[in-house]
Amino acid sequence: MPTTVIKGGTVVTADLTYKADVKIEGGRIVEIGPDLSGDEVLDAAGCYVMPGGIDPHTHLEMPFMGTYSSDDFESGTRAALSGGTTMVVDFALPSPGQSLLEALTMWDNKSTRANCDYSFHMAVTWWSEQVFNEMKTVVQDKGINTFKHFMAYKGALMVDDDEMFASFQRCAELGALPLVHAENGDVVASLSAKLLADGNNGPEAHAYSRPAEVEGEATNRAIMIADMAGCPVYIVHTSCEQAHEAIRRARQKGMRVYGEPLIQHLTLDESEYFDKDWDHAARRVMSPPFRNKQHQDSLWAGLASGSLQVVATDHCAFTTKQKRFGVGDFTKIPNGTGGLEDRLPMLWTYGVNTGRLTMNEFVAVTSTNIAKILNVYPRKGAILVGADADIVVWDPKRKKTIAARTQQSAIDYNVFEGKEVTGLPRFTLTRGVVAIEESTIRTQEGHGQFIRREPVTAVSKALSTWKELTAPRKVERSGIPATGV
């Protein structure tokens, strides 16, 4: 089989930095060491050789708020590779009442166009005996070990606490990890109605309808419910100190609780919604909304200290035309922003180049940590012999100004428009195949494969004393007062 050697670079992993060549054969890393030779040589002089990024939070071609998100598995994974991300995990989303397996077939069909490897999380948007039964098939036959729960989007995707508790207990039995969109949907609905009634219908009202408290409350509630169910829990798009605090506290107690800030929340703030034109603000409407600088500092500190583990995007791209569905009513603006292509360059520029993160921490939060959490490590997220050759050869000196005009994403704007980034891929390889060489795109539609993720058993147990009550002790008593007396 032909071999490829990445030559003259510095390997950077989550825990090591060292000079070495990396040899690839049959899509896998076969040798790491000095002076290697191969049929094809990729010049990595002056570059860092890192595990490709894994984005565990994307919504490609997702039916949502009366439309479909505009990047599909082709444009979305092309954008990913262009920015050094080599695997995405998308959400299969059954509509309430729909079979999980039927939704999965829909996602299987869409994903055949992927340019890089991918996996799915399964969303639990309703509860029934059918869902309970199908969860087992999803884990054991379909190779999916994560279930997403929405505590917001009342009347649409939201599940109530009893449903979430039942699903978390099922996750515990199956060795699956529950994921949570943590916002108090009842409070959001109430605040939204009041804002609209008072005539606040612009995109800035979206931010007022989802204050940090609704996220902090829901995060804390999800963690407590996970503790009672005896399972770990992963909080998606952690955007504020209140949510981070709940995660920190739980981890300090010994619970396996994970938090995932987005690159958007780390680098863009709430000023994007104010004193800007309608389109500018609406293009940045997502849930949770952008926050202030204090919240941003909290998220950066969490990444540095390890209380937050993963940087994702929640890539859910809508065109300006789609955003305009919400003119006159902010609750109809499709929620979502893009970021797949920009996550790594933005995090490098605002994290590594500023000294907030080390290069090794950068690899941890963009790739290795999530590979471990999702149980695909070391096949993904590693530069090790035997690992898939999903690699980014990172040129720390390459610069660009982010612009919609040059992006791979299918939409007509970019929320990071005008930001200057220093640090970009020289090459991105997906299972050994060069998909990106600087600004030349050589992606292959359909090259991406579904990556199975096996269950993780006994990863957590309840810490709360409440757990003892799940097997209630029968109490024999005398002297019970007669009723109605």
For 179-195, b where at least 16 C-beta lie within 10 A, e where not — what string?
A: bbbbbbbebbbebbeeb
Q: Out of 40, 102, 160, 468, name the contact with Zn ion by CB under 5 A.
A: 160
Query: Least distance to ligand DUC from the beta carbon of 314, Å?
Result: 6
| Cβ-based nearer residue to Zn ion, 11 or 62 | 62
Sites for Zn ion among residues 296-315 (CB under 5 A): 314
Number of residues that bind ligand DUC (CB under 6 A): 8
The neighbour count for residue 466, using CB atoms within 10 Å, is 11
| Binding flag, residue 179, ligand DUC (CB under 6 A) | no
Nearest in space to 334 (alpha carbons), one of 156, 198, 183: 156
| Cβ-based nearer residue to ligand DUC, 326 or 336 | 336
**String marking each residue 256-295 x if it binds ligand DUC according to CB under 6 A:** ------------------------------xx--------
Choose from Zn ion, ligand DUC, none: what does 115 bind? Cβ within 5-8 Å by kind: none
Choose from Zn ion, ligand DUC, none: what does 336 bind? Cβ within 5-8 Å by kind: ligand DUC
**String marking each residue 368-397 x if it binds ligand DUC according to CB under 6 A:** ------------------------------
| Cβ-based nearer residue to ligand DUC, 258 or 348 | 258
* Closest chain position to Zn ion (CB): 181
- What DSSP letter does each residue of 378-418 carry, written as one string? TTSS--STTSB--EEEEEEEEEEE--GGG-SSSSS--TTTT
Task: Count CA atoms closer than 13 A to 200's CA, side-chain side.
Answer: 14
Sites for ligand DUC among residues 332-351 (CB under 6 A): 335-336
| Cβ-based nearer residue to ligand DUC, 217 or 314 | 314
**String marking each residue 42-81 x if it binds ligand DUC according to CB under 6 A:** -----------------x----------------------
Q: Out of 117, 134, 314, 361, name the contact with ligand DUC by CB under 6 A.
A: 314
- CA 345, CA 326: separation in Å to the nearest integer? 31
Nearest in space to 443 (alpha carbons), one of 459, 429, 460: 429
Query: Least distance to Zn ion from the beta carbon of 89, Å?
Result: 11
| Cβ-based nearer residue to Zn ion, 182 or 352 | 182
Q: Residue 313 in contact with residue 58, Cβ under 8 Å? A: yes
The neighbour count for residue 257, using CB atoms within 10 Å, is 25
* φ, ψ of residue 49 in degrees (nearest 5): -105, 110
| Binding flag, residue 316, ligand DUC (CB under 6 A) | yes
Regarding beta strands 85-92 and 117-123, do their DSSP bridges make them parallel or antiparallel, or are they unpaired?
A: parallel
* φ, ψ of residue 392 in degrees (nearest 5): -115, 125
Q: What is the 3-state secondary structure (H, E, C) of 177-202?
A: EEEEECCCHHHHHHHHHHHHHCCCCC
The neighbour count for residue 293, using CB atoms within 10 Å, is 10
Which residue ranges make up the site for Zn ion (CB under 5 A)? 160, 181, 314
